């Protein structure tokens, strides 16, 4: 198992939209953030909502592969699945994979059957009508993260936000919207991982620092033995 890192790792990337009628054919910044997030995980699963019919409301039963069996989850709150085969739904939202995504203009939450250490998702058309997205996790303690999405930009943008926290696993994430009822958001490709599925790969500079530290420790031990 990889070493446990104490501070949560946050991943974020955003590609601005081209207007409510235009689907982004590529979203490199969001994809890069998601790729970095997934690079620290092994054996995880992603919910793309393709198993649900159009206009299915909460509660939704979700299942993710865990390190020792399935992690089940229940999505509750306001919203419904939406099917968009091509283009957008006319007001900036669309799936990032397949034809189905989750859409909400209010608040919703996902409760996990077991503590998880990683959670990430794509957000679509977030902030064009003044809404700031928040993600609140419940690990026994409540922590709210403000997603730094662009506010009042053009519709149709895509972002990725993710968190990895081995030291403080959580059993629920809740989504907030500072412009609830006015700004509607799309969500897709939600990924979940438990503590054992986290395999954080340090940056090359971290390896260099670790090597230097081990070398200094070795020299110190040799001096003490003389």
- State the pLDDT at residue 220: 47
Helix (H, G, I), strand (E, B) or coil at 25: coil
Q: What is the pLDDT of residues 124-170, one digit of tens each?
A: 999 999 999 999 999 999 999 999 999 999 999 999 999 999 999 99
Top pLDDT among 226 and 127 is at: 127
- Report residue 32's pLDDT band, with 50, 70 and 90 as the boundaries: very high
Question: Among the residues of the chain, which ranges form H helices?
Answer: 28-38, 204-225
- Report residue 214's pLDDT band, with 50, 70 and 90 as the boundaries: very low
Q: Please, are residues 65 and 188 in contact by the beta-carbon 8 Å criterion?
A: no
Beta-bridged to residue 76, according to DSSP, are 109
Q: Please, are residues 178 and 184 in contact by the beta-carbon 8 Å criterion?
A: no
- Report residue 221's pLDDT band, with 50, 70 and 90 as the boundaries: low
> Whole-angstrom Cα distance, residue 180 to residue 106?
5
- State the pLDDT at residue 200: 86
- Report residue 71's pLDDT band, with 50, 70 and 90 as the boundaries: very high
- Report residue 215's pLDDT band, with 50, 70 and 90 as the boundaries: low
- State the pLDDT at residue 217: 46
> Whole-angstrom Cα distance, residue 103 to residue 139?
25
- State the pLDDT at residue 202: 66
> Whole-angstrom Cα distance, residue 203 to residue 170?
25
Top pLDDT among 213 and 54 is at: 54
Beta strands in 78-127 (DSSP E): 80-83, 100-104, 108-116, 118-124
- State the pLDDT at residue 109: 98
- Report residue 225's pLDDT band, with 50, 70 and 90 as the boundaries: low
Taking the domain 9-201, which CATH number applies?
A: 2.60.120.260
Q: What is the mean pLDDT of the chain?
A: 91
Residues 6+ apart with CB under 8 A from 162: 10, 11, 12, 33, 34, 37, 118, 119, 120, 121, 191
pLDDT at 207 over 50: no
Q: Please, are residues 145 and 132 in contact by the beta-carbon 8 Å criterion?
A: no
- State the pLDDT at residue 7: 85
Examine residue 189 and say whether the peptide bond preceding it is cis (omega within 30 degrees of 0). no
**Proportion of the chain above pLDDT 70, given as a percent:** 86
Residues 6+ apart with CB under 8 A from 39: 201
- Report residue 28's pLDDT band, with 50, 70 and 90 as the boundaries: very high
> Whole-angstrom Cα distance, residue 81 to residue 55?
5
pTM: 0.88
The encoded tokens of residue 29 equal: 């910044």
- Nearest partner of 84 among 98, 66, 105, judged by Cα: 98
- Region 47-72: what's the mean pLDDT? 97
């Amino acid at each position: 198992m990889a070493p446990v890192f104490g501070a949560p790792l946050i991943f974020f990337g955003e590609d601005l939209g081209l207007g409510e009628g235009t689907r982004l054919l590529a979203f490199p910044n969001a994809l890069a953030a998601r790729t970095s997030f997934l690079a620290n995980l092994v054996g995880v699963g992603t919910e793309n909502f393709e198993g649900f019919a159009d206009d299915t409301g909460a509660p939704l039963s979700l299942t993710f592969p865990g390190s020792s069996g399935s992690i089940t989850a229940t999505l509750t709150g306001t919203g419904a699945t939406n099917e968009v085969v091509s283009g957008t739904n006319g007001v900036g939202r669309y799936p990032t994979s397949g034809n189905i995504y989750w859409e909400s203009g209010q608040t919703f939450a996902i409760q996990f059957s077991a503590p998880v250490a990683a959670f990430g998702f794509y957000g679509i058309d977030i902030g064009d009508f003044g809404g700031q997205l928040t993600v609140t996790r419940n690990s026994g303690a409540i922590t709210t993260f403000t997603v730094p999405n662009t506010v009042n930009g053009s519709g149709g943008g895509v972002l990725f936000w993710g968190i990895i926290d081995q030291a403080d696993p959580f059993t629920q994430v809740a989504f907030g919207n500072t412009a609830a009822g006015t700004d509607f958001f799309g969500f897709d490709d939600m990924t979940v991982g438990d503590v054992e599925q986290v395999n954080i790969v340090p940056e090359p500079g971290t390896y260099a620092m670790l090597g230097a530290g081990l070398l200094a420790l070795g020299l110190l031990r040799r001096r003490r033995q003389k």
